[in-house]
Structure 1
Amino acid sequence: MSTTHTPRMALAIPLGLMAGLGPLCIDLYLPALPQLATDLAVPTASAQLSLTAGLLGLGFGQLLFGPLSDKYGRCKPLLISLCILLLASIACSFAQTLPQLLTARLFQGLGGAGGAVLSRAVARDRFSGHELTRFFAMLLLVNGLAPILAPIIGGFLTAYMSWRGIFLVLAGITVVLLYLAKTRIEESLVVEKRSQGSLFSAWKLLIDVIRHRPFMGFCLTQGFMMSGMFAYIGASPFVLQETYGLSPQNFSLCFALNGFGLILASQISSRLCPKFGEYTILRCGLIIAFIASSCLLISGLLHASLPVFLVALFFSIASNAIISTTASSLAMQSQGHRAGSASAVIGVTMFTLGSIAIPITGIGGSSALAMGATIFGCFMMAIIMFIFVAKKPEIVQKRH
Structure 2
Amino acid sequence: MRNTNSKIFLLILLGSLTAFGPLVTDMYLPSLPSMTDYFGTQASMVQLGLTSSMIGLALRQLFFGPLSDWYGRRPPLLVAMSLFIVSTVCCIFSATIEGFIFFRLIQGIAGAGGIVVSRSIATDRFTGKELAKAMAIIGAINGIAPVASPVLGGFLTDSIGWKGIFIVLLILGVLLLFSNLHFKESLSVDNRKRGNLKSLVSSFGIVLKNRRYVYYVLQMGFAMGVLFANISSSPFIVQQHYGFSAFEFSLFFGINALAIGLAAGLSVKFKNPEHAMFLGSVGMTMMSAVEFVILSNEYHFAVYEAVLFVLLFSMGLTFTASTTLAMDCERANSGTASALFGAAGFAFGGIVSPLVGLGDILSTTGLIFFVCSVCSLCFSVLAMNQTHTNLWGSFKCKMGPVTRFVFLRREK
Q: TM-score, normalised by structure 2?
A: 0.86
CA distance in 2, matches of 1:58, 1:360: 20
Q: CA deviation at 1:288?
A: 0.6
Structure 1 residues 321 and 372, CA, compared in 2 at 3 Å: closer, same or farther? same
CA–CA separation in structure 2 for the residues paired with 1:316 and 1:341? 31
Q: Distance in 1 between matches of 2:259 and 2:201?
A: 37
Report the counterpart of residue 188 of structure 2 in structure 1.
190
Task: Give the structure 2 partner of residue 89 of structure 1.
Answer: 88
One-letter code aligned to 2:370: F
Letter in 1 for 2:269: R
Q: Find the counterpart in structure 2 of residue 6 from structure 1.
A: 6
The structure whose RCO (Cα within 8 Å, separation 6+) is larger is: 1
Q: 2:337 and 2:222 mapped to 1: Cα distance?
A: 17
Q: Which residue of 1 aligns with 2:122?
A: 123
Q: What does 1:284-323 correspond to in 2, within 5 Å?
A: 284-323=279-318
Question: Match of 2:120, SS?
Answer: helix
Q: Note the 1:57-206 alignment, pairs <5 A.
A: 57-95=56-94, 99-141=98-140, 146-147=145-146, 150-183=149-182, 185-198=183-196, 200-206=198-204
Aligned residue among 208, 213, 226 for 1:215: 213
Looking at structure 2, the residues matched to 389 and 99 of structure 1 have their Cα atoms a distance apart, in angstroms, of 44
CA gap 1:254/1:306 in 2 versus in 1, 3 angstroms: same
CA shift, 1:144, in A, is: 5.8
**Equivalent residue, structure 2, for 1:225:** 223
Cα distance change, pair 261–267 in 1 and its aligned pair in 2 (3 A): same
- Distance change in 2, residues 1:89/1:311 (3 Å): farther
Judge conservation of contact 1:195–1:202 (CA < 8 Å) in 2.
no
Structure 1 residue 206 displacement after superposition? 1.3
When structure 1 is superposed on structure 2, of 338-347 and 221-230 the one drifting more is 221-230
1:22 aligns with 2:16: no
Q: Does 1:337 align with 2:311?
A: no
2:387 maps to 393
CA distance in 2, matches of 1:347, 1:53: 16
Runs of 5+ consecutive residues of structure 2 not aligned to the other structure:
395-412
Residue of structure 1 in register with 2:374 after alignment: 380
Query: Secondary structure in 2 aligned to 1:317?
Result: helix
Identity %: 34
Alignment of 1:28-43 (within 5 A): 28-36=27-35, 41-42=41-42
3-state SS of paired residue (2:247)? helix
* Alpha-carbon displacement from aligned partner over 1:263-297 (angstroms, at most 9, x marks no partner): 1101111112xx2x111221100011011212222
d(CA) in 2 for partners of 1:269, 1:30: 30
Structure 1 residue 232 displacement after superposition? 1.7
1:372 counterpart letter in structure 2: G
The size of the alignment, in residue pairs, is 393
Q: What CA distance in whole angstroms lies between the structure 2 residues aligned with 1:173 and 1:3?
A: 26
Which stretch shifts more, 86-95 or 55-64? 86-95
Question: How many Å apart are 1:101 and its aligned residue?
Answer: 4.0
- 2:323 maps to what in 1? 328
Deviations 1:193-216 (A, max 9, x none): 000233542442111001110000
CA distance 1:396–1:230, shift in 2 (3 Å): farther
Maintained 8 Å contact 1:69/1:77 = yes
Three-state SS of the structure 2 residue aligned to 1:159 is helix
One-letter identity of the residue aligned with 1:385:
F
Change over 3 Å in CA distance of 1:93–1:380 after alignment to 2: farther
**CA offsets per residue over residues 241-278 of structure 1, 9 Å max, x none?**
33333333222222211111111101111112xx2x11
Partner-residue secondary structure (3-state), 1:15? helix
1:81-111 CA distances to partner (integer Å, 9 max, x unpaired)?
A: 1222223333444456654444333222111
Once the two structures are overlaid, the 10-residue window that deviates more, 161-170 or 251-260, is 161-170
What residue in structure 1 maps to residue 408 of structure 2? Answer: none
Q: Distance in 2 between matches of 1:100 and 1:172?
A: 21
Shift, 1:141, TM fit: 4.4
- Per the alignment, in what secondary structure is the counterpart of residue 253 of structure 1? helix
How large is the Cα RMSD of the aligned pairs? Answer: 2.7
Q: Which has the larger radius of gyration?
A: 2
Q: Deviations over 1:327-348 (max 9, x none)?
A: 1111111111211000001011
Once the 2 structures are TM-superposed, how far is the Cα of residue 223 of structure 1 from its aligned partner?
1.0
Cα distance, 1:390 vs structure 2: 5.9
SS in 2 for 1:189: coil
* Contact 1:214-1:393 within 8 A present in 2 as well: yes
**Contact map agreement 1:19 1:115 (CA 8 A) in 2:** yes
Alpha-carbon deviation of 1:120? 0.4
Counterpart for residue 365 of structure 2: 371
Shift of the alpha carbon at 1:218?
0.6
How far is 1:222 from its partner?
0.4
Aligned partners of 1:332 and 1:339 also within 8 Å: yes
Shift of the 133–355 alpha-carbon distance from structure 1 to 2, 3 Å rule, reads: same
CA spacing shift, 1:49–1:361, aligned 2, 3 Å: farther
Q: Is the 8 A contact 2:143 2:319 kept in 1?
A: no
